[in-house]
């Protein structure tokens, strides 16, 4: 009897594969639990980073191998999601951009290269440098964090093992201990999962602290396609309390600058919206508050 490929019955998994899958998934849950234990330290890192970034500092992400690629993955989302300027986001990945898709293991040991790259970045005390290394011992990452801290930058170290050089060198320590991997040495498993959770929470918390959200909405999102335009219209309508038609008009008038569009929809002309956002460090929530207080002053004066 002929049978199409879509109807070929699959063979049952061997018992050791069943058990292995269960153990791997259990490890992912344990990784999340390890990350959750760091809530106070992550909050401390956010509180320390936000004032520096408000003064114009940069976010500089440093790593090698899997850890470096995870750091880059988290960082690249900041521009489209929160409108974070790309000129204030720097990636120092051992082996360079090529290492994103090809292994560059030898570069992990190049401490001199890391020091040179930190120097080339002209790191300042307003910068926030986040170094990620599962082992906590990667020479490239450790050297970068040490040199950045000497330059006065806020140095945050994220590792998956305690009592390691990276954590000794950092101002703020984020140690998500995940223990041995299901496949020994494969830090793309539990260690990588914990790193992604910590970085995601840290970067999101920083963006919230910088006023790039309002009531759980992405007020600085990049409006770069039809789907995101529809989302932007919904965001404007929700915050400004106006119709979709008015929101679309505001977005068009603002030339897809979402924060400006929100203020326009709330009743300001484009020039006034830009002025309020400038006074509010480009925070929509603060700009709306300034607008409200301004209206109260006029009303009371009248």
CA pair distance 184, 181, nearest whole angstrom: 5
CA pair distance 209, 50, nearest whole angstrom: 6
108 in catalytic set: yes
Residue 171 contacts residue 48 (beta carbons within 8 Å) = yes
Q: With helix as H, strand as E and coil as C, how does 122-153 read?
A: CCCCCCEEEEEECCCCCHHHHHHHHHHHHCCC
Tokens representing 253 are 């008038």
Q: Closest by alpha carbon to 59, among 47, 76, 44, 38?
A: 76
CA pair distance 283, 274, nearest whole angstrom: 11
Instruction: Indicate which residue of 44, 77, 253, 272 is catalytic.
Output: 77
CA pair distance 154, 172, nearest whole angstrom: 8
Name residue, tokens 């910590």.
Answer: 198
Instruction: Indicate which residue of 23, 105, 108, 181 is catalytic.
Output: 108
Tokens representing 277 are 């956002």
- Helix axis angle for 258-265 and 244-253, nearest 10°, is 130
Sheet of strand 89-93, all strands in order from the earlier edge strand to the far edge: 89-93, 59-63, 128-133, 154-159, 172-175
CA pair distance 45, 156, nearest whole angstrom: 7
Which residues are part of the catalytic machinery? 77, 108
């Amino acid at each position: 009897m002929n049978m199409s490929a879509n109807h070929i019955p699959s063979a049952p998994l061997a018992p050791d594969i069943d058990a292995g899958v269960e153990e791997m998934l259990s490890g992912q849950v344990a990784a999340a639990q390890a990350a959750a234990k760091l809530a106070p330290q992550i909050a401390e890192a956010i509180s320390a980073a936000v004032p520096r970034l408000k003064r114009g500092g940069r976010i500089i992400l440093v790593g090698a191998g899997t850890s470096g690629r995870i750091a880059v993955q988290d960082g690249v989302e900041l521009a489209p999601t929160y409108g974070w300027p790309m000129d204030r986001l720097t990636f120092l990945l051992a082996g360079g951009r090529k290492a994103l898709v090809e292994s560059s293991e030898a570069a992990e040991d190049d401490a001199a290269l890391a020091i040179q790259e930190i120097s080339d970045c002209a790191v300042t005390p307003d910068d926030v440098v986040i170094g990620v290394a599962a082992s906590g011992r990667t020479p490239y990452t450790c050297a970068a964090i040490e040199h950045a801290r000497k330059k006065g930058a806020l140095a945050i170290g994220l590792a998956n093992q305690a009592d390691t050089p990276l954590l000794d060198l950092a101002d703020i320590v984020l140690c998500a201990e995940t223990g041995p991997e299901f496949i020994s040495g494969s830090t793309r498993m539990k260690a990588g999962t914990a790193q992604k959770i910590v970085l995601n929470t840290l970067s999101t918390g920083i963006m919230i602290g910088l006023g790039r959200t309002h009531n759980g909405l992405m007020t600085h999102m990049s409006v770069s396609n039809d789907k995101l335009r529809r989302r932007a219209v919904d965001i404007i309508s929700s915050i400004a309390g106006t119709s979709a038609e008015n929101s679309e008009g505001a977005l068009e008038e603002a030339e897809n600058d979402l924060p400006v569009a929100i203020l326009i929809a709330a009743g300001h002309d484009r020039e006034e919206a830009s002025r309020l956002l400038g006074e509010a460090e480009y925070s929509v929530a603060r700009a709306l508050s300034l607008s409200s207080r301004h209206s109260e002053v006029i009303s009371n004066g009248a």
